[in-house]
Amino acid sequence: MPQVGRLGISEVTATALLLMITLSLGILVWGFSAGWSFSASIEYSQETDEEIAQLESLIHVELSYMENGKCVLYVRNVGETDVKITAVDVRPEGESFWDRVTFSDLTIGRGAVERVEVNSPYCDPSSGKAAKLTIHYVAERVADNPGRALRLPYLVAPVTLSLSGYTVGEWCPINTVPRLLYLSDNKEDWDVTGREGFVLFSGALNFIAKANSGELRLRLSNGTIRIISFGKQTPIYIIFDHDGRRYPTNGMVLVKKPEKDVLISEMHAKYISIGEGASEQIYHDVMIESLTAELRDWGSTDLNFDLEFHGRWLDVDQPTGSNLPNGEYGSWHLYVIYEKGLDNDIDFDLSFTSGGTNFDLWIMHGRGMLIGCV
């Protein structure tokens, strides 16, 4: 019987087909996995950036007050990225109902200050109630994700003016309105003069005196004189509390970075600490008759000063863009801060005579706010 031939494929062909199938499946699987990995990496990168943006976002209300139907805030971006304010919730103190004021295009650049007006009937200074605010903000680069919004609670008092944690409404005369005269975005020079009034000076100065660079002469509250020489490196911390009406003296506070000088004379201090090795001497309610010292290094120096002047204000060389009055009578408040590590060139030079009747102030590369009561 003749054999019938059977159709089939050769081993070579079979091997080639199996190889093609294997490659096709591999490419298919790789395509799926690569596509998933790419999508996942994009999503992961977005989530990571949003987390970083949250960490970099930080705002601070430096000044606030009420007008009829309006809460006015001066908000500084103290974070590391541009932020966008999206909404502010307003609620009268002690009440459960609230307003939401939305903002569509309110961006604050890094380090910048913006005036934020929150229009709400709950901002009513005549009501006697403070307004509780919740500021909603987000990093500008992830502003399209509302789930990443951060919140800053803040309280605006009805009749007082809040300034960087200080409430200064008590020095504004009755029936006067706080007015922001100047708020500096950048550090710049101030040179101002006051006449026919008195000065109130508070704040803190913290530094390390270089060895053998000077001495401190104190007059204690009982009249005793104490002299302390800086024979070694000496940490010094002073809290000022000087009222020109109560202490009719010729006073001076000078802190100069280039020369590393500190000079103080005839200034009342609420508290002063002088370090001596592992111990320290502490004095309360003293008059600094004189202090001369050289800074060991500028990096260990901190200062923030709060100056009030009541009388006739004259501007000599006003900061750029300010609207300082010239020759007007009133109560003026200047708050000056030096932020350690951000600017190492500040010079502060304050002097006044006849119990604060006249004063001259010069600041190089300072940042501050000037408020008037009119």
Q: Which domains does the chain have, with CATH numbers?
A: 59-159 (2.60.40.10), 171-373 (no CATH)
Phi-psi category of residue 107: left, alpha or beta, with phi > 0 → left and psi -120 to 50 → alpha: beta
165 has pLDDT over 50: no
DSSP secondary structure code for residue 38 in this structure: H
Higher pLDDT, residue 3 or 308: 308
Instruction: Find all residues with CB under 8 Å of 132, minimum gap 6, and list them.
Output: 90, 91, 92, 93, 153, 154, 155
Evaluate whether 343 touches 365 at the Cβ level (below 8 Å). yes
Higher pLDDT, residue 113 or 207: 207
The first and second tokens of residue 242, run together, are 């000087």
61 has pLDDT over 50: yes
The candidate with the shortest Cα–Cα distance to 293, out of 206, 357, 181, 216, is 216
- Regarding beta strands 107-108 and 83-92, do their DSSP bridges make them parallel or antiparallel, or are they unpaired? antiparallel
Task: State the Cα–Cα distance between residues 292 and 265, nearest whole angstrom.
Answer: 9
pLDDT tens digits for 12-36?
A: 555 655 655 565 555 545 555 555 4
Q: Which pLDDT value is given to residue 272?
A: 93
Q: Which pLDDT value is given to residue 52?
A: 67
Q: Which pLDDT value is given to residue 48?
A: 58
Place of tokens 């007007």: 328
Evaluate whether 194 touches 374 at the Cβ level (below 8 Å). no
pLDDT tens digits for 88-103?
A: 999 988 888 889 999 9
Task: State the Cα–Cα distance between residues 298 and 303, nearest whole angstrom.
Answer: 11
Task: State the Cα–Cα distance between residues 178 and 63, nearest whole angstrom.
Answer: 11
The candidate with the shortest Cα–Cα distance to 268, out of 227, 198, 220, 332, is 220
Task: State the Cα–Cα distance between residues 231 and 210, nearest whole angstrom.
Answer: 8
Q: Angle at CA 363, nearest 5°, toward 360 and 367?
A: 130
Evaluate whether 311 touches 357 at the Cβ level (below 8 Å). yes
Top-confidence range, 146-150, 192-196, 249-253, 341-345: 249-253
The first and second tokens of residue 243, run together, are 């009222």
Half-sphere exposure at residue 76, Cβ-oriented, CA atoms within 13 angstroms: 16
DSSP secondary structure code for residue 4 in this structure: P
What pTM value is reported for the model?
0.57
Phi-psi category of residue 223: left, alpha or beta, with phi > 0 → left and psi -120 to 50 → alpha: left
Least confident of 111-115, 251-255, 260-264, 294-298: 111-115
Evaluate whether 66 touches 131 at the Cβ level (below 8 Å). yes
DSSP for 170-222, written as a single string: GGSPTT--EEEEEE-SS-EEEEEEEEEEEEEEEEEEEEEEPTTS-EEEEE-TT
Q: Which pLDDT value is given to residue 300?
A: 76
The candidate with the shortest Cα–Cα distance to 124, out of 46, 81, 170, 71, is 71
The first and second tokens of residue 71, run together, are 């809460």
Q: Which pLDDT value is given to residue 184?
A: 61
In the chain, the amino acid numbered 262 is V
Evaluate whether 189 touches 349 at the Cβ level (below 8 Å). no
SS3 of residue 273 by DSSP: strand
